[in-house]
Amino acid sequence: MTPAHFEDLRSQLSFPDSLVFRVTSEYEKYFSDATTYSGKPAAILFARVKEDVQAAVKFCQKNKIPLVPRGAGTGLSGGCVASSDSLLLSTELINHIIVNKPTATAIVGPGAITKTLQDEAAKVGLTYPPDPASFRESTLGGNVAEGAGGLRCRRFGVTKDYVLGLEAVLADGSLLRTGVLGNGSGFGLEDLLQASEGTLGIITEIAFRLIPIPTRGATILVAFDHPTKAAQTVADITAQGIIPTVLEFLDGDAAACSNEYEKNEGLDDAAAILLLETAGQDTTKEIVQIREICERNRCNYLRGETDPERAESLWNVRRNLSKAIKASAAIRISEDVAVPNTQFPVLVDFVAKMNLASPLRINAFGHAGDGNLHVNFLSSSGSETDKELIEQGILTLMKKTVELGGTLTGEHGIGLAKRAYLPLEFDPATLRAMRGIKQVFDPFNILNPGKLLPK
């Protein structure tokens, strides 16, 4: 992008000052997401209105400049990391939230923060249940673009279960309105745009379904002396038809990191932890069933709390986990594979054995109720040898996941991190169909090029 290009784009914007061409270190946080990928874009546009998004897309199309959309940059697959020839388009300032109580819906800008929507909905007795652990920072546009999941998603569903319609700017600058924001019939284009990681369009407005605030049940913390016993408990709870609101798994090393970060009761010798929350007012029967299953799998610690304040103290185990694990090593690469519930114990056992056989530290935690396991490859030295071992470990993990009928990403997306592994999961016909869709939506490969699809 030359200064002439820059002036051309600026002249077309409703808010010319929202374009930053001198991308100094002041903007460093925009060079990366929550992974180790980084890149300094040629310019950054902090769009405030959709008309400026349209102008930017048309400009990039005309000049064949890559355009990379970005929300809060909490992504875990490098999706919003821009190359040096790119225009980085931040949608964080398009953040309106309009909650409609009678229809139990909300119309939001893509830059609205997930928790802010929950807070606004709560004012009228409603809620937006999807809750990625990053919900205090992540944007709803980023959630939709990644197909985000979260802690309560086993019971209440993931982001895509709440999207009623989308507005997006297409690669030629035109505006697409789908679902309740446009026409409900025809192709379900809002489904296609979800989890497309900014490669098919730039989301400028979202219509969400809301639900009445559910009653919180009991919070239960359970510890085991082996990770497979905890994983088997997860499979047994699911097989018995119990659907807790939260069912989180942490192996011993992950639990130790959490305990190191913030001292938690009952974690000192745990080889694995389950954190559960039941749903509804009267969950006595459910609690008894859960206790029986835990005892059958020989748990060695179980504590349940219904008092909200005391329950909060149990939540500390999970709350800072990602930060705690990151702080425990020089390099942390996190992979979010997912498998069918019946295979969860097999995967957990496999990861435990990988850890024993590897010079690296490999730990795991995740939204177990969804079969989701976040496997962390940790190096204390950050050496080149360790980096190679991490690459090999990731490939081994991916192959095993696919063999178990699972998926390479439960919720964090493909981005840069996993595109090379896609052929492990998808056959050539599926990959051809995906490339065909990209070609129709973005014939000149302007929108977030180099992400999601393999080379």
Ligand X SMILES: Cc1cc2nc3c(=O)[nH]c(=O)nc-3n(C[C@H](O)[C@H](O)[C@H](O)COP(=O)(O)OP(=O)(O)OC[C@H]3O[C@@H](n4cnc5c(N)ncnc54)[C@H](O)[C@@H]3O)c2cc1C
> Distance of CA 306 to CAs 26, 246, 310, 408, Å?
46, 14, 8, 36
Q: Give residues with Cβ within 8 angstroms of 384, minimum separation 6.
A: none
User: What is the β-pairing status of strands 246-251 and 272-279?
Assistant: antiparallel
Q: How far is the CB of 138 from ligand X (least distance, A)?
A: 4
C-beta closer to ligand X: residue 174 or 383: 174
Q: How far is the CB of 132 from ligand X (least distance, A)?
A: 3
Residue from 214, 221, 211, 219 nearest 281 by CA: 214
Tokens of 396: 């081994």
Q: How far is the CB of 171 from ligand X (least distance, A)?
A: 12
DSSP state of 195: T
Q: b/e per residue, 359-387, with b = 16+ CB within 10 A? A: ebbbbbbbbbbbbbbbbbbbbeeeeeebe
Q: How far is the CB of 260 from ligand X (least distance, A)?
A: 17
Strands laid side by side in the 175-177 sheet: 97-100, 105-108, 202-209, 163-169, 175-177
Q: How far is the CB of 251 from ligand X (least distance, A)?
A: 17
C-beta closer to ligand X: residue 316 or 322: 322
C-beta closer to ligand X: residue 166 or 220: 166
C-beta closer to ligand X: residue 236 or 411: 411
For 35, the 3-state DSSP assignment is: coil
Q: How far is the CB of 233 from ligand X (least distance, A)?
A: 21
- DSSP track, 360-408: SEEEEEE-GGGTEEEEEEEESS--HHHHHHHHHHHHHHHHHHHHTT-BS
C-beta closer to ligand X: residue 68 or 279: 68
Q: How far is the CB of 300 from ligand X (least distance, A)?
A: 28
C-beta closer to ligand X: residue 45 or 80: 80
- Would you tell me which residues interact with ligand X (CB under 6 A)? 33-34, 68-76, 79-80, 91, 110, 132-134, 138-139, 141-143, 145-146, 148-150, 197-198, 202-203, 322, 411-412, 415, 448, 451
Q: How far is the CB of 87 from ligand X (least distance, A)?
A: 12
DSSP state of 302: E
Angle value at C-alpha 48, between 42 and 53, nearest 5 degrees? 60
C-beta closer to ligand X: residue 77 or 228: 77
Report which residue type is found at 105.
Answer: T
C-beta closer to ligand X: residue 66 or 73: 73
Q: Give residues with Cβ within 8 angstroms of 40, minimum separation 6.
A: 23, 31, 82, 84
